[in-house]
Every structure is written in C-alpha cells, then in structure tokens.
C-alpha cells in the first residue's frame, strides 16, 4: 500500500496550515527527507519532508487550500511498489475518448475543495461558470483568488453546433448565445465582484469597484487567536512613566563604538528586556500559564517579541533571556529579526515563549493596550521616548520620558503583584546608564 504524508503540527498552538507550493508532481521519485511541499501557518513557513523513499502516486490537497493538522496531503508508493494504474497514459487511439470521458465526468460531478467552496460562498460566486486548473478541471482556492484579483475571468460556455449530418437541428448563432449569456452573467454576478460594468468604467475613477483583499492563512490565524484571547482572557491594564534620560545619553555615547566592534546596532530593546527579566525573577507569577485547574509557573524565562513584516506579524522568542547580557540579548534580537524578515524562522525560533515584550514605541506610539498572547498571562509594551518638561527637585527640566504599559490576565494576576512588578521594571529601566555593563 502507498504511504501517507499528512499535515504536520508546526508549533504548539498551530491547528492548520496552507499549502503554498507543491515541490513535486505525480510520478516524481523522492527520497526520504526530501521536501515535498511548502506550508504556511500563522507562525512559520516550512517545508514538509517525505518520510519515505518512493514515487508520488497522488496529491490530495491542492495549492492554496488550508487544512487541519493530520490531514492527508499526498500518497507515496514506496520503492518496489507499483504506481496505481490511474496514472497510466491512454493509447493514442483512445486519447480523445478518454479526454471526453474525464471532461464529462468532471462537468456532471464537479469537485470543490472545502476552502474553495467557502471562499466562493463568501463572495457569492457561481463555480459552475469557472474552469479549474486542478486535476480533471477541479476548481482550487487559487483559481477563485485569481478571479477575485482580476487575473482570471468567468467562463461563458457556448453550445457546440450540431454536425452537418443533422441539418434539421436548428443552430443558434454564437453571437446570439454569447449576448444572452452575457446578460445572464451580469444578472448572476454580484456587484461586489471584480468585474466592472461599462457604466462604471465610463465614470472612472469616480465609480471604481471596491478592492477585495483575500484573507491569507497567516492573517486568518492571527485573527482567530486574537479573538480567542479577548473572549477568554479577562484583560486589565497598568501604565507607568519612566525617565530614560540617563539611558538615552549612555546609548548615544557608545552606540557607534558598539557597532564597529560587534557589527550590530545597539537599540534600546536589549536594555528594556534586561530590565523585565530581572523583575520576572522577583515576581515569577507573571512568567506563568493558566491551565484551567492550576497555574503553571515557568522556571525558564523565554521572551517573545513582535516583528512586523509587510505580510504578517511574527513573534520569535529569545530563549533563556535571563541568562544573557545586554550584548547577548542584542545579538539574539538581531538574528531573530533578520530571520523573520527573510522568512527563515524555524520552529524552535517561535515556540516556548513565557512573557512578551513589544516595542510599539518604534512606530511612535505613546500609549497602548496590548492583547495577551496565550498561553502567556501578561504582555508589556515600551512606548516612544519623547522629550517633556518634568519637575525635578522642584524645578522644571526637559527629560527623555517613556510610558511602559502592562496587560495582565486577571484570572492569574492581580493589581497588587502587577503594580509591584511594574514599579520594579521602572526602577530597572531608570537605573540603566554609565554603570550598566554590556557584557
């Protein structure tokens, strides 16, 4: 029997993935551990390796389809096993008849994947008016996306004229049939479709059609996780103000020397993460998880951080952050950011986070209320550093100020422990300066 390749679980909370590209075709020979397809999830892009050596005998899931973990992706006829006879090519004499049979079967009994059917229903599309690019004319999710993006047009089927041997059979002119069907198509296709009627085109750009942006697998999963977080976790928020004047002066003085010596930029984020992990040692409850019947306090401190790209938001993890120096944190952050932006994050780079530190200040934000990334119980954001007049020793002085915002899971954490934790983070950040060691 052929061996099965199924959708792997590419992360702790990953439940599904999207086939972005097949790297093999039916009939291809593969060796064990050779990649067979590329999969996209909300956390990582990865290749699925073959667990066997043999011949690809069947591809079950088409490109663009999103399926659950454990779903059959393809079958492989292992070595010394015959490929199923369905792949045998018909003889030249029967080629035309075979093609007609396949076409007739596909037309009379069309097959739509669940992902394609759902996308068509959401956009009120008639799949009977489309030609698929899949096996035996099967309509895939990619076909529908191409239609929505204007790369493909719905097919208008024109009846074939009867052969000359039957002159008594009246034949409609092709032009008449096309005219009737064009009117019918205009009635059936909703206004939200990418097709623009002649009147809209004439009045362009005032009456242009709205743009339809397909929801990618990554965006869909992010949406589901964020909705689940807000629905299940009772969020509460605390904010404190930090005077980072000494840190700003210190970094400005050493950043060029650091760049020449280490080859990486010295940002503020390593100082902030260092301040947070020192506070987590004192208040370990914030480094825990809610399991329903007990609270699991994690001994290791793995700091998650958000990295945004043009396509999605990734959350790589700085492992054992409490054991790293400022330089060690800066190096780890630089490596993870590069991997995220180049699409090279591995599974171990995005799993195991116990607490999240997010630098929203890089976008100029001065105050935020972040959403907790489950199963974690808290997330902290550091905001933009701005100069403000502050009263110091009963005198007004211009200082570099920054807000620090904490979101907490009120099932696990209360205001008292979080207030003390945030106070310690503030003290640690404000203590960064010329006395702070980098190594």
Q: What is the pLDDT of residues 336-363, one digit of tens each?
A: 999 988 878 888 898 899 999 999 998 8
CATH number at residue 250: 3.30.559.10
Same domain, 81 and 224: no
The two tokens of residue 200 are 């809209």
| pLDDT surpasses 80 at 401 | yes
Domain ends where: 30, 57, 87?
87
Q: pLDDT confidence of 153, banded at 50, 70, 90? A: low
414 is catalytic: yes
- Residues 158 and 164: their CA atoms lie apart, in Å, by 18
The full length of the chain comes to 439
When pLDDT is averaged across residues 219-242 and rounded to a whole number, the result is 90
Same domain, 228 and 239: no
When pLDDT is averaged across residues 132-157 and rounded to a whole number, the result is 66
Domain ends where: 45, 67, 87?
87
410 is catalytic: yes
**Per mean pLDDT, which of 25-29, 216-220, 242-246, 392-396 is the most reliable?**
242-246
In a domain, 168, yes or no: no
Same domain, 146 and 123: yes
The two tokens of residue 294 are 């007990």
Same domain, 16 and 112: no
Torsion over CA: 242, 244, 247, 248 (sign): positive
- 153 preceded by a cis bond (ω within 30 of 0): no
Same domain, 281 and 426: yes
Same domain, 60 and 153: no
Same domain, 328 and 418: yes
Same domain, 193 and 251: no
Same domain, 240 and 384: yes
Q: Which of 96, 197, 265, 410 is catalytic?
A: 410
DSSP 3-state percent helix, strand, coil across the chain (nearest 5): 35, 20, 45
The string of DSSP letters for 80-101 reads TSPPPGGGPPPPTTTHHHHHHH
Collect all residues with Cβ–Cβ distance below 8 Å to 371 and sequence separation of at least 6.
226, 229, 230, 235, 379, 407
| pLDDT surpasses 70 at 13 | no
Whether 260 and 436 have beta carbons less than 8 Å apart is answered as no
Same domain, 188 and 127: yes
Same domain, 194 and 266: no
Identify which has the larger pLDDT, 105 or 318: 318
Provide the 8-state DSSP code for 287.
Answer: G
In a domain, 266, yes or no: yes
Q: pLDDT confidence of 194, banded at 50, 70, 90? A: very low
Q: What digits encode the pLDDT tens for the residues 86-142? A: 444 444 445 455 445 544 444 445 555 556 666 777 777 777 777 777 655 667 777
| pLDDT surpasses 80 at 225 | yes
Same domain, 268 and 357: yes
With tokens 């780890």, the residue in question is: 332
In a domain, 370, yes or no: yes
Identify which has the larger pLDDT, 278 or 217: 278
Q: How many domains does the chain have?
A: 3
Q: Which of 305, 316, 312, 376 is nearest to 346 (CA)?
A: 316
Enclosing domain of residue 11: 3-87
Q: Can you give the pLDDT at residue 172?
A: 45
In a domain, 163, yes or no: no
> Phi then psi for 241, rounded to 5 degrees?
-110, 130
Which residues are bridge partners to 404 per DSSP? 240, 382
In a domain, 171, yes or no: no
Domain ends where: 87, 109, 125?
87
Q: Which of 96, 101, 197, 414 is catalytic?
A: 414
């Amino acid at each position: 029997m052929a061996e099965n390749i199924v959708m792997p679980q590419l992360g702790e909370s990953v439940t599904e993935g999207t086939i972005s590209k097949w790297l093999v075709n039916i009939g291809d020979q593969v060796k064990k551990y050779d990649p067979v397809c590329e999969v996209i999830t909300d956390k990582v892009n990865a290749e699925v390796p073959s667990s066997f050596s043999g011949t690809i005998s069947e591809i079950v899931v088409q490109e663009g389809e999103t399926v659950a973990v454990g779903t059959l992706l393809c079958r492989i006829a292992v070595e010394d096993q015959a490929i199923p006879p369905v792949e045998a090519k018909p003889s030249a004499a029967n080629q035309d008849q075979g093609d007609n049979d396949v076409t007739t079967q596909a037309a009379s009994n069309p097959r739509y994947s669940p992902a394609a059917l759902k996308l068509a229903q959401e956009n009120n599309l008639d799949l009977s008016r489309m030609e698929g690019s899949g096996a035996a004319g099967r309509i895939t999710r990619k076909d529908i996306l191409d239609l929505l993006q204007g790369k493909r047009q719905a097919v208008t089927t024109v009846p074939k004229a009867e052969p000359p041997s039957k002159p008594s059979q009246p034949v409609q002119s092709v032009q008449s049939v096309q005219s009737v069907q064009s009117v019918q198509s205009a009635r059936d296709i909703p206004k939200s479709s990418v097709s623009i009627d002649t009147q809209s085109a004439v009045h362009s750009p005032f009456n242009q059609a709205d743009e339809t942006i397909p929801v990618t697998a990554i965006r869909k999963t992010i949406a589901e996780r964020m909705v689940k977080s807000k629905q299940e976790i009772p969020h509460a928020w605390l904010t404190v103000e930090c005077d980072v004047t000494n840190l700003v002066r210190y970094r400005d003085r050493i950043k060029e020397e650091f760049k020449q010596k280490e080859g990486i930029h010295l940002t503020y984020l390593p100082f902030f993460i260092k301040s947070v992990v020192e506070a987590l040692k004192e208040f370990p409850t914030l480094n825990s998880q809610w399991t329903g019947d007990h609270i699991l306090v994690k001994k290791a401190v793995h700091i998650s951080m958000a990295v945004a790209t043009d396509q999605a938001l990734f959350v790589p993890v700085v492992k054992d952050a409490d054991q790293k120096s400022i330089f060690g944190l800066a190096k780890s952050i630089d490596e993870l950011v590069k991997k995220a932006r180049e699409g090279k994050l591995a599974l171990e780079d995005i799993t195991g986070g116990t607490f999240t530190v997010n630098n929203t200040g890089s976008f100029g934000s001065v105050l935020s209320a972040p959403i907790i990334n489950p199963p974690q119980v808290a997330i902290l954001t550091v905001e933009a550093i701005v100069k403000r007049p502050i009263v110091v020793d009963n005198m007004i002085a211009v200082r570099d100020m920054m807000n620090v915002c904490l979101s907490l899971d009120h099932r696990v954490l209360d205001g008292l422990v979080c207030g003390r934790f945030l106070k310690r983070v503030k003290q640690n950040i404000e203590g960064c300066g010329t006395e702070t060691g980098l190594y």
